[in-house]
Structure 1
Amino acid sequence: MSYDFGAFNNWGSLKKVAVRGPATAFKDDHRLDAEWKPLNYHSRPDLAEANREFAAVTRVLEAAGAEVIGLPDGDGLTLDSIYTHDALIVTPRGLVRPFMGKPQRRREATVNGAHLESLGIPIAGEIQGPGSVEGGDLVWIDRHTLLAGIGYRTNREGVAQLRKLAGGDVEILEFDLPHYKGKSDVFHLMSVLSPLDKDLAVVYLPLMPVRLVQFLESRGIGFVEVPDREFDSMGCNVLALGPRHAMMVAGNPETERRMKVAGVKVEVIKGDEICRKGEGGPTCMTRPLVRG
């Protein structure tokens, strides 16, 4: 099986995507009971309802033309392993296994990488501690330009290692993220930036670095702004299924309206169990591997 690593952006047509559904990540009531509080979930997910919600996500992905690759369970995985985006990085040279900023999640990169490597996807290398990188802090603007958020989950040492692994023809631009709610919060670059097309992105401006806003404007990228009241409900956590075609969590009607005004086709999913309780939206739950 061969894979084309030639298309690098966060908005092209989704061709292959890796996921780990709640049947595997949440596993059973014993894992849910043991882990939801230590992992800072807002409340305990309901497994049966989570499975129903995720089945709807899979249907949307497949209807958009994506091949959905299910990731297996493995030693040391937690409930958070449902959020597959963070645990692997796709580069022109192949996959990079990150050293994740959240200690409980560090086994995910090994398990996910091994499974995808068995399917013929090359591994370019891995990030070594004390360097740390998480996938949610990385946004591809084009084949040669990668944006990196520097915060509590991704540090400059990790990005320095990623530069060597990604190749000399990839420019990685760093932007400092705000403290916001602190070290225990799940805050990434993609918490405030979700590309929808080559010239359009969903953004939450109040928490965006000024240099990042200026950079995006210099590239001619327009903004769909998330209102304050819809930031905590993950209005900015939007997955592009293709140019101006996106998936978002229900409960963000104004952001949805603004996206549609901008010409975006919007797929709305229910995410009470799989998204809201663990603070991981459609972007977090999916690891795009190939985009057209």
Structure 2
Amino acid sequence: MAGQIGGFNEFGRIRRVALRRPEAAFQSPAKIVAEWQRLAYTEAPLMAEAAREYDRLEACLESVGATLDHLPADPSLTIDALYVRDAAIVAPGGLILCNMGKPARQGEPALHGKALGAAGIPILGRIEGAGRIEGGDLVWFDARCLAVGRGYRTNDEGIRQLQALVGPGVEVVTVPLPHYRGPGDVFHLMSILSPLDRDLLLVYSPLMPVPFREWLIARGMTLVEVPDAEFDSMGCNVLAIAPRHCVMLKGNPQTQARLRAAGCRVEVIAGREISAKGQGGPTCLTRPLLRD
């Protein structure tokens, strides 16, 4: 599998994915105690239970034939390094290393580049200087169309650098994001949008810009709506592991029923330790590298 990267969409069968297990991100109970409040977790995660929850996520990925690339621990990392989506972007030509909007996470992209470069994945470039981008703000619709959320974690200069890296053959659609809970909140474009198939999306429309929602519908997308009661429990943070086959967090029964009614096969995982406390769902926990 060395060097394989591609499938620029968010719904194809996952063939290769980068992860960082809780043991490598949290490292020790003492590190959790030292960091969880500073990083705005709701509670301190429990290491052993987090590992059990993560085992279930990995089993779902392996069930579709995915190869798992485990990213290593490093003393410079915070416990937020569990959420590997944000530090790197898959693009034609290789990996783009992000420049994180959350200051405590700015060391993560270089470590992604070191580990995945050693695994044979080419590094296309990096977002530098005043540019800021986090991976949760990017959604590939196909190899020629990439949507980017412009919010507190991703800025105009980051988007400008991204466009230069992906080149003129890729349309970069900028999506202005709402203020919502302010700059300290964990809010990305993928907080309100999860692709399920080429023409099927899970969305939370109350926080979606009207022009972007209209753009999606004009592209022929069917929208499955997340109910208000299940947005805060990350009902909209759903990972497609294959077309219309997805992984979601336990505790969102209305969304689960709507997904099944739309023809989706749904895997449900517990996520109190690995998701709820740090507000990072299945998409945040994974960096797909190769999809069909």
TM-based fold match above 0.5: yes
User: How big is the shift at 1:167?
Assistant: 2.0
TM-score, length basis structure 1: 0.98
Is residue 43 of structure 2 the alignment partner of residue 39 of structure 1? no
Match of 1:205 in 2: 205
Is the contact between residue 10 and residue 240 of structure 2 (CA under 8 Å) also seen in structure 1? yes
Q: Is the 8 A contact 1:137 1:188 kept in 2?
A: yes
2:6–2:90 Cα contact (<8 Å) kept: no
Q: Deviations over 1:195-230 (max 9, x none)?
A: 000000100000001111011101101011000000
Q: CA deviation at 1:129?
A: 2.4
Aligned residues: 292
CA deviations on 1:151-176 (whole Å, 9 max, x unpaired) are 00001110100111112211100010
Structure 2's unaligned 5+ residue stretches are none
Q: What per-residue deviation string (whole Å, max 9, x for no partner) do you get for residues 14-71 of structure 1?
A: 0000000101101111100000000000001111100111011111110121111100
Number of the residue aligned with 1:98: 98
In structure 1, the residue corresponding to 2:140 is in which secondary structure?
strand
Runs of 4+ in 1 over 3 A off after TM superposition: 1-6
Matched, 1:55 2:41: no
1:17 has 2:26 as partner: no
Q: How does 1:258-277 map to 2 (within 5 A)?
A: 258-277=258-277
Match of 1:147, SS state, is: strand
State the alpha-carbon separation in 2 of the partners of residues 235 and 92 from structure 1.
30
Q: CA–CA distance in 2 between the matches of 1:75 and 1:163?
A: 33
CA distance in 2, matches of 1:6, 1:121: 11
Matched residue type, 1:283: T
SS at match of 1:38: coil
User: Matches of residues 208-247 of structure 1 in structure 2 within 5 Å?
Assistant: 208-247=208-247
Q: Which runs of 5+ in 1 are unaligned?
A: none
Shift of 1:113: 1.2
3-state SS of 2:223 partner: strand
Distance in structure 1 (CA, Å) of the matches to 2:94 and 2:164? 13
Q: Relative to structure 2, which stretch is displaced further, 56-65 or 247-256?
A: 56-65
Give the match's secondary structure for 2:74: coil
